[in-house]
């Protein structure tokens, strides 16, 4: 019933830090990412090349990408919204480019200042240029399970955006529960539809844990054959253009559950414990991850 192994895509340095009030210094970001690189994680999204006025927390993207010690076998990803961002990402020699848009019109507009239809040609150029540069292109679709502005999001909108992103040539699509509103029944219903169109190994799940249902949603996704999950160390994170959004499912909690179930991830929980402690100190507040807090006090 359960897979032997799953792939964890750590998004803490990007999704985790983009919404933090405390500016984490470039040096501390680099130290933290280097710790993550040594933990057995094979995929780390380390920053974004967006407009620094929109996301000041990640305004040091170039210095971060060029400052880390890249570990062979680890893929380093950056979020990129347009060709200007791509140019910056290429100059820094990023391995993988993540493009993103929303299934709901209002969130797309608030987040990237364009309608859904205006976004398609931008992302098409981005994916084409990424692939022709010999790099990997990953896609995100946000607000799959609900929008902070529109509420319910129609599955047809999710299908339309997903179809277009795959047509462009993305290697994998991450389905975002941007504001953490999904429940397992809804996840099942959405995946039943999407898995008829796309293979399970091309889909990743990106759950924010705003209402505490992320692990339950991951469990049902696992049952349905999904084996790629995005998570953020300590449970840091949230989208500044999605009111009420809080952190991603904590990598620490996800690992505790998966390893307890005998599902292999290749990640060393002990090494990550130090990385969680490090970033908790720098952020200056208690991290949301329950298993991290239990491990720290126990
Ligand atoms: P815009 O203002 O429409 O852009 O923003 P523009 O093309 O009109 O340019 C305006 C200014 O921005 C210009 O500078 C550009 O040079 C500059 P000025 O002439 O005024 O000095 N600019 C840039 N600078 C650096 N890098 C760039 C760049 N592009 C333009 N790449 C834009 C459009 C998309 C750039 C803006 O809306 C933006 O940066 N949005 C990003 C918002 C964001 O990062 N949101 C969070 C990430 S998404 C997320 O968290 C969800 C996810 O986790 C999945 C989930 O949970 O569902 C992925
Ligand atoms: Mg997110």
Could you identify the atom of ligand 1 that is nearest to the CA of residue 241? 45
Main-chain phi, psi angles of 248, to 5 degrees: -70, 165
Residue 140's alpha-carbon distances to 80, 176, 250, 295, in angstroms, are 11, 7, 19, 32
Q: What is the pTM of this model?
A: 0.97
Q: Which atom of ligand 1 is nearest to the CA of 208?
A: 56
268 has a pLDDT exceeding 90: yes
Q: Is the distance from the beta carbon of residue 84 to the nearest atom of ligand 1 less than 6 Å?
A: yes
Kindly tell me if the per-residue pLDDT of 242 is higher than 80.
no
Q: What is the largest CA-CA distance in the chain?
A: 52
Amino acid 243: pLDDT? 77
Which residue's CA lies nearest to atom 25 of ligand 1? 51
Q: What is the ipTM of this complex?
A: 0.98
**Tokens 């981005």 belong to which residue?**
126
Please report the pLDDT score of residue 130 as a whole number. Answer: 98
Per-residue model confidence (pLDDT) at position 245 = 75
Q: What is the pLDDT of residues 109-130, one digit of tens each?
A: 999 999 999 999 999 999 999 9
pLDDT of residue 239: 72
Catalytic center residues: 239
Ligand 2 center to 173 CA (angstroms): 13
């Amino acid at each position: 019933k359960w897979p032997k192994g799953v792939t964890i895509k750590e998004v803490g340095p990007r999704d985790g830090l983009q919404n933090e009030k405390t500016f984490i210094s470039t040096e501390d970001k680099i130290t933290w990412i280097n710790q993550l690189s040594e933990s057995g994680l094979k995929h780390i999204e380390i920053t974004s090349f967006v407009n620094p006025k929109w996301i000041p927390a990640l305004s040091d993207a170039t210095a971060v990408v060029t400052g880390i010690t890249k570990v062979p076998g680890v893929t380093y990803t950056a979020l990129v919204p347009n060709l200007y961002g791509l140019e910056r990402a290429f100059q820094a020699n990023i391995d993988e480019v993540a493009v993103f848009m929303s299934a709901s019109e209002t969130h797309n507009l608030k987040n990237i200042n364009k309608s859904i239809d205006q976004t398609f040609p931008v992302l098409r150029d981005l994916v084409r240029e990424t692939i022709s540069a010999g790099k990997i292109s990953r896609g995100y679709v946000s607000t799959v399970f609900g929008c902070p502005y529109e509420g319910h999001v129609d599955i047809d909108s999710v299908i339309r955006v997903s179809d277009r992103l795959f047509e462009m040539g993305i290697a994998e699509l991450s389905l975002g529960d941007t504001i953490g509103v999904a429940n397992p029944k809804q996840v099942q219903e959405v995946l039943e539809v999407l898995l008829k169109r796309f293979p399970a190994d091309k889909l990743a799940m990106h759950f924010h844990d705003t209402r505490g249902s992320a692990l339950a949603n991951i469990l049902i996704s696992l049952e349905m054959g999904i084996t790629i999950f995005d998570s953020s160390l300590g449970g840091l994170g949230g989208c500044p253009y999605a009111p009420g959004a809080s952190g991603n499912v904590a990598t620490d909690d996800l690992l505790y559950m998966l390893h307890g179930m005998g599902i292999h991830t290749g990640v060393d929980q002990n090494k990550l414990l130090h990385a969680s402690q490090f970033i908790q100190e720098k952020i200056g507040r208690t991290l949301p991850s329950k298993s991290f807090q239990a491990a720290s006090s126990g």
